[in-house]
A and B are shown apart, each in its own frame.
Chain A
Amino acid sequence: MGVKKRISGCVATANAVKLADVDVICSYPIRPYTGIMSELARMVADGELDAEFVHGEGEHGQLSVVYGASAAGARTFTGSSGVGVTYAMEVYSPISGERLPVQMAIADRTLDPPGDFGSEQTDALCCRDQGWIQGWAATPQEALDNTLMYYRIGEDPRVLLPQYACQDGYFVSHILGEVDIPDAAQVKEFLPPYKNHHVLDPRKPQIIGAQMEPKMGPGMQYQRYLAIEGARKVIEEVHEEFGQIFGRKYAPWVEEFMTDDAEVAIFMQGGHSTTCKTVVKRLRNLGEKVGLVRLRTFRPFPTEQVREALSKFKAVGVVDNSVNFGISGGAGVLLTEARTALYGLGDKVSTVGFVGGLGGEMITHEEFYKMFQILKEVAKAGKAERQSYWLPYEL
Chain B
Amino acid sequence: MLEEIKSIKKAPIEEYYVPGHRTCAGCGPALQYRLVAKAAGPNTIFIGPTGCMYVANTSYSCGPWAVPWIHAQITNGGAVASGIEAAYKAMIRKHKTDAEFPNIIVMAGDGGSADIGIQALSAAFYRGHNILFIAYDNESYANTGIQTSPTTPYGAWTTFTPAGPVVPEGKKLMPKDLPKIMAHGHPELKYLATASLAYPLDLMNKVRKGLNAQGPAFLYVHAPCPKGWSFPADKTVEIGKLAVETGMFQLYELVDGEYKLTYKPREFRPVAEYIKLQGRFSHLKPEHIEKLQQFANGRLQEVGIEVSVPVQ
Interface residues of A (CB under 8 A from B): 23-24, 26, 50-52, 54-58, 60-61, 64-74, 76, 90-91, 94, 98, 193, 200-213, 216
Contact = CB atoms under 8 A, between A and B. Distances in A.
B55 A202 contact: no
Given A57-B119, A64-B76, A207 B68 contact: yes
B210 to A, nearest CB: 17
A210 B75 contact: no
B87 A72 contact: yes
A203 B54 CA distance: 22
Contact of A56 (B47, B59, B97, B123): B123
Contacts of B86: 23-24, 52, 54, 65, 69, 74
Contacts of B259: none
B99 A211 contact: no
Contacts of B76: 60-61, 64, 67, 90-91
8 contacts: A57-B122, A64-B73, A68-B47, A69-B84, A202-B67, A204-B68, A206-B68, A207-B62
**Interface size class, chain B:** 35 or more
Contacts of A210: 58, 60-63, 71
A215 to B, nearest CB: 11
Given A57-B79, A207-B62, A23 B91 contact: yes
Contacts of B71: 94, 208-211
Contact of B82 (A51, A65, A76): A65
B69 interface: yes
B96 A193 contact: yes
Given A60-B76, A64-B76, A202-B67, A54 B83 contact: yes
A90 B72 CA distance: 11
Interface stretch (B37-45, B168-176, B279-287, B291-299): B37-45
Given A68-B85, A203-B99, 16 more contacts: A54-B86, A54-B127, A57-B120, A57-B122, A58-B119, A64-B76, A67-B76, A67-B83, A68-B72, A68-B79, A73-B97, A91-B76, A94-B73, A200-B70, A202-B43, A205-B69
B66 to A, nearest CB: 6
B65 A68 contact: no
Given A56-B123, A57-B123, A212 B61 contact: yes
Contact of B69 (A70, A207, A213): A207
B80 A74 contact: no
A69 B123 contact: no
A68 B82 contact: yes
Contacts of A212: 59-61
A74 B126 CA distance: 22
Given A56-B79, A200-B68, A72 B58 contact: no
Contacts of A98: 70
B88 to A, nearest CB: 6
